[in-house]
Protein backbone atom coordinates (compact mmCIF):
# COMPACT_ATOMS: atom_id res chain seq x y z
CA UNK A 1 0.00 0.00 0.00
CA UNK A 2 2.79 2.37 0.96
CA UNK A 3 4.70 1.58 -2.23
CA UNK A 4 1.60 2.20 -4.32
CA UNK A 5 1.07 5.58 -2.61
CA UNK A 6 4.72 6.54 -3.10
CA UNK A 7 4.56 5.65 -6.76
CA UNK A 8 1.41 7.74 -7.20
CA UNK A 9 3.07 10.75 -5.52
CA UNK A 10 6.10 10.39 -7.76
CA UNK A 11 3.92 10.40 -10.87
CA UNK A 12 2.07 13.52 -9.69
CA UNK A 13 5.38 15.30 -9.03
CA UNK A 14 6.63 14.48 -12.52
CA UNK A 15 3.42 15.77 -14.11
CA UNK A 16 3.60 19.00 -12.08
CA UNK A 17 7.23 19.51 -13.04
CA UNK A 18 6.44 19.13 -16.74
CA UNK A 19 3.65 21.71 -16.43
CA UNK A 20 5.80 24.25 -14.56
CA UNK A 21 8.85 24.04 -16.86
CA UNK A 22 7.25 25.58 -19.99
CA UNK A 23 5.69 28.30 -17.88
CA UNK A 24 9.07 29.21 -16.38
CA UNK A 25 10.68 29.21 -19.79
CA UNK A 26 7.97 31.51 -21.15
CA UNK A 27 8.42 33.91 -18.26
CA UNK A 28 12.10 34.52 -19.13
CA UNK A 29 12.56 38.06 -20.58
CA UNK A 30 13.14 38.22 -24.32
CA UNK A 31 16.53 39.68 -25.10
CA UNK A 32 16.08 42.67 -27.44
CA UNK A 33 17.78 42.57 -30.77
CA UNK A 34 20.76 44.85 -31.11
CA UNK A 35 19.54 48.26 -32.17
CA UNK A 36 15.93 47.78 -31.04
CA UNK A 37 14.54 51.18 -30.08
CA UNK A 38 17.81 52.99 -30.95
CA UNK A 39 17.67 55.74 -33.55
CA UNK A 40 20.93 56.26 -35.41
CA UNK A 41 21.60 59.89 -36.38
CA UNK A 42 21.72 60.31 -40.12
CA UNK A 43 22.54 63.06 -42.61
CA UNK A 44 22.16 63.44 -46.36
CA UNK A 45 23.37 66.25 -48.60
CA UNK A 46 23.24 67.12 -52.29
CA UNK A 47 26.28 69.17 -53.31
CA UNK A 48 26.69 69.51 -57.07
CA UNK A 49 29.41 71.00 -59.29
CA UNK A 50 28.94 74.74 -59.59
CA UNK A 51 30.37 78.12 -60.52
CA UNK A 52 30.76 80.72 -57.79
CA UNK A 53 32.10 84.23 -57.26
CA UNK A 54 34.52 82.69 -54.78
CA UNK A 55 32.86 83.87 -51.58
CA UNK A 56 29.96 81.39 -51.21
CA UNK A 57 28.97 77.88 -52.23
CA UNK A 58 25.51 76.34 -52.45
CA UNK A 59 24.13 72.95 -51.45
CA UNK A 60 20.99 71.88 -53.26
CA UNK A 61 19.60 70.19 -50.17
CA UNK A 62 20.55 69.10 -46.65
CA UNK A 63 18.74 66.78 -44.25
CA UNK A 64 20.13 66.40 -40.72
CA UNK A 65 18.20 64.08 -38.42
CA UNK A 66 19.52 65.83 -35.30
CA UNK A 67 20.13 69.29 -36.78
CA UNK A 68 23.54 70.95 -36.80
CA UNK A 69 25.81 72.49 -39.40
CA UNK A 70 27.37 71.87 -42.79
CA UNK A 71 31.08 72.68 -42.91
CA UNK A 72 32.96 73.22 -46.17
CA UNK A 73 36.47 71.75 -46.31
CA UNK A 74 39.19 72.48 -48.83
CA UNK A 75 41.66 70.01 -50.36
CA UNK A 76 43.65 69.74 -47.12
CA UNK A 77 40.92 67.40 -45.86
CA UNK A 78 42.16 64.68 -48.20
CA UNK A 79 45.67 65.87 -49.09
CA UNK A 80 46.81 66.38 -45.49
CA UNK A 81 44.11 64.44 -43.61
CA UNK A 82 43.44 67.68 -41.70
CA UNK A 83 39.79 67.65 -40.62
CA UNK A 84 40.00 70.80 -38.50
CA UNK A 85 42.44 72.93 -40.47
CA UNK A 86 40.67 72.28 -43.76
CA UNK A 87 37.42 74.01 -42.72
CA UNK A 88 36.98 77.21 -44.74
CA UNK A 89 33.27 77.89 -44.14
CA UNK A 90 30.20 76.77 -42.23
CA UNK A 91 26.46 77.15 -42.64
CA UNK A 92 24.13 78.74 -40.15
CA UNK A 93 22.66 76.40 -37.52
CA UNK A 94 20.18 74.09 -39.24
CA UNK A 95 17.21 72.58 -37.43
CA UNK A 96 16.48 68.87 -37.67
CA UNK A 97 14.89 67.88 -40.95
CA UNK A 98 15.21 68.83 -44.61
CA UNK A 99 16.50 72.15 -45.95
CA UNK A 100 16.74 73.43 -49.52
CA UNK A 101 19.24 75.79 -51.16
CA UNK A 102 21.69 76.03 -48.25
CA UNK A 103 24.33 78.68 -48.86
CA UNK A 104 27.65 78.71 -47.02
CA UNK A 105 29.83 81.79 -46.64
CA UNK A 106 33.53 81.11 -47.15
CA UNK A 107 36.53 82.56 -45.28
CA UNK A 108 34.52 84.11 -42.45
CA UNK A 109 34.86 81.41 -39.83
CA UNK A 110 35.19 82.06 -36.09
CA UNK A 111 38.33 80.48 -34.70
CA UNK A 112 40.39 80.71 -37.88
CA UNK A 113 42.29 83.47 -39.63
CA UNK A 114 42.68 83.40 -43.39
CA UNK A 115 45.07 85.15 -45.74
CA UNK A 116 42.40 85.33 -48.41
CA UNK A 117 38.76 86.35 -48.64
CA UNK A 118 37.66 84.27 -51.63
CA UNK A 119 38.52 81.19 -53.64
CA UNK A 120 41.39 81.86 -56.01
CA UNK A 121 41.38 78.74 -58.17
CA UNK A 122 39.03 76.05 -59.36
CA UNK A 123 39.02 72.82 -57.38
CA UNK A 124 37.13 70.27 -55.33
CA UNK A 125 35.48 71.22 -52.03
CA UNK A 126 33.88 68.84 -49.54
CA UNK A 127 30.71 69.39 -47.51
CA UNK A 128 30.65 67.61 -44.14
CA UNK A 129 27.64 67.30 -41.81
CA UNK A 130 28.29 68.26 -38.17
CA UNK A 131 26.30 68.07 -34.93
CA UNK A 132 25.65 70.95 -32.56
CA UNK A 133 26.73 68.61 -29.75
CA UNK A 134 26.82 71.24 -27.00
CA UNK A 135 23.54 72.81 -28.10
CA UNK A 136 24.78 76.42 -28.08
CA UNK A 137 23.85 77.13 -31.74
CA UNK A 138 27.49 77.92 -32.57
CA UNK A 139 29.95 75.89 -34.60
CA UNK A 140 32.71 75.10 -32.10
CA UNK A 141 34.45 72.32 -34.02
CA UNK A 142 37.39 74.47 -35.13
CA UNK A 143 37.64 76.50 -31.92
CA UNK A 144 37.71 73.31 -29.83
CA UNK A 145 40.21 71.60 -32.16
CA UNK A 146 37.64 68.98 -33.05
CA UNK A 147 36.48 68.01 -29.56
CA UNK A 148 33.01 69.62 -29.89
CA UNK A 149 30.41 69.59 -32.68
CA UNK A 150 31.90 66.56 -34.39
CA UNK A 151 30.73 65.17 -37.71
CA UNK A 152 27.90 62.76 -38.46
CA UNK A 153 29.26 59.30 -39.21
CA UNK A 154 28.11 56.30 -41.19
CA UNK A 155 29.95 53.09 -40.42
CA UNK A 156 33.57 54.08 -39.88
CA UNK A 157 33.55 57.26 -41.96
CA UNK A 158 32.12 60.76 -41.85
CA UNK A 159 29.16 61.79 -44.00
CA UNK A 160 30.46 64.01 -46.79
CA UNK A 161 29.68 65.13 -50.34
CA UNK A 162 32.20 66.66 -52.74
CA UNK A 163 31.77 69.00 -55.70
CA UNK A 164 34.00 70.74 -58.21
CA UNK A 165 33.73 74.49 -57.70
CA UNK A 166 34.76 76.84 -60.50
CA UNK A 167 35.55 80.48 -59.78
CA UNK A 168 34.10 83.18 -62.03
CA UNK A 169 36.72 85.25 -63.80
CA UNK A 170 36.75 88.88 -62.78
CA UNK A 171 35.86 91.32 -65.52
CA UNK A 172 39.01 93.23 -66.36
CA UNK A 173 40.10 95.67 -69.02
CA UNK A 174 42.85 94.74 -71.52
CA UNK A 175 45.57 95.94 -69.17
CA UNK A 176 44.12 97.69 -66.16
CA UNK A 177 42.08 100.71 -65.24
CA UNK A 178 45.26 102.50 -64.31
CA UNK A 179 46.80 101.88 -67.73
CA UNK A 180 43.68 103.16 -69.47
CA UNK A 181 43.81 106.26 -67.33
CA UNK A 182 47.36 106.91 -68.58
CA UNK A 183 46.46 106.59 -72.26
CA UNK A 184 45.18 110.19 -72.68
CA UNK A 185 48.21 111.56 -70.83
CA UNK A 186 50.65 109.65 -73.02
CA UNK A 187 48.77 110.67 -76.15
CA UNK A 188 48.82 114.31 -75.13
CA UNK A 189 52.55 114.08 -74.46
CA UNK A 190 53.18 112.66 -77.90
CA UNK A 191 51.18 115.45 -79.48
CA UNK A 192 53.22 118.06 -77.62
CA UNK A 193 56.49 116.42 -78.70
CA UNK A 194 55.27 116.27 -82.30
CA UNK A 195 54.33 119.97 -82.24
CA UNK A 196 57.75 120.90 -80.86
CA UNK A 197 59.46 118.89 -83.59
CA UNK A 198 57.34 120.52 -86.30
CA UNK A 199 58.01 123.97 -84.86
CA UNK A 200 61.75 123.27 -84.90
CA UNK A 201 61.57 122.18 -88.54
CA UNK A 202 59.67 125.33 -89.54
CA UNK A 203 62.19 127.57 -87.75
CA UNK A 204 65.14 125.91 -89.51
CA UNK A 205 63.53 126.32 -92.92
CA UNK A 206 62.95 130.03 -92.30
CA UNK A 207 66.63 130.49 -91.50
* pLDDT for the residue 26: 42
Please give the residue range of the domain that contains residue 81: 43-167
For residue 177, the SS3 value is helix
* pLDDT for the residue 39: 74
**131 near 68, Cβ under 8 Å?**
yes
Q: Which residues, other chains included, contact 55 with Cβ-Cβ below 8 Å and sequence gap of 6+? A: 105, 106, 107, 117, 118, 119
The total number of structural domains in the chain stands at: 1
Asked if residue 58 belongs to a domain, the reply is: yes
* pLDDT for the residue 198: 75
Helices (H) and strands (E) in the chain, counts: 3, 10
Asked if residue 183 belongs to a domain, the reply is: no
Residue 109: which CATH number?
Answer: 2.60.40
Task: Going residue by residue through the chain, which has 207 residues, state the pLDDT in tens, using 9 for 90 and above.
Answer: 545 444 444 444 444 444 444 444 343 444 434 444 557 899 999 999 999 999 999 999 999 999 999 999 999 999 999 999 999 999 999 999 999 999 999 999 988 999 999 999 999 999 999 999 999 999 999 999 999 999 999 998 999 999 999 999 866 545 544 445 555 676 777 777 677 777 776 677 766
Task: Give the span between the Cα atoms of 21 and 1, in whole angstroms.
Answer: 31
Asked if residue 6 belongs to a domain, the reply is: no
| Angle formed at CA 69 by CA 66 and CA 74, multiple of 5 degrees | 140
For every residue of 75-123, DSSP letters joined together read THHHHS--TTTTEEEEPPPB-SEEEEEEEEEBS--TT---S-SS--S-E
Task: Give the span between the Cα atoms of 152 and 131, in whole angstroms.
Answer: 7
* pLDDT for the residue 172: 52
Closest CA to 40 of 153, 158, 157: 153
Asked if residue 36 belongs to a domain, the reply is: no
Asked if residue 38 belongs to a domain, the reply is: no
For residue 187, the SS3 value is helix
Q: Which long-range contacts (CB under 8 A, 24 or more apart) does 178-182 make?
A: none
Asked if residue 152 belongs to a domain, the reply is: yes
* pLDDT for the residue 22: 45
Amino acid sequence: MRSTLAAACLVLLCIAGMAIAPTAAQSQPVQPQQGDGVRTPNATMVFTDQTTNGTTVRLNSVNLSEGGFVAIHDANLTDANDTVGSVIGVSEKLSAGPHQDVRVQLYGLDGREFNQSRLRTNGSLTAMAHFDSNGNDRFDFVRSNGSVDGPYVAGTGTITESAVVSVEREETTPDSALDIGLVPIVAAGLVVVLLIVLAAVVIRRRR
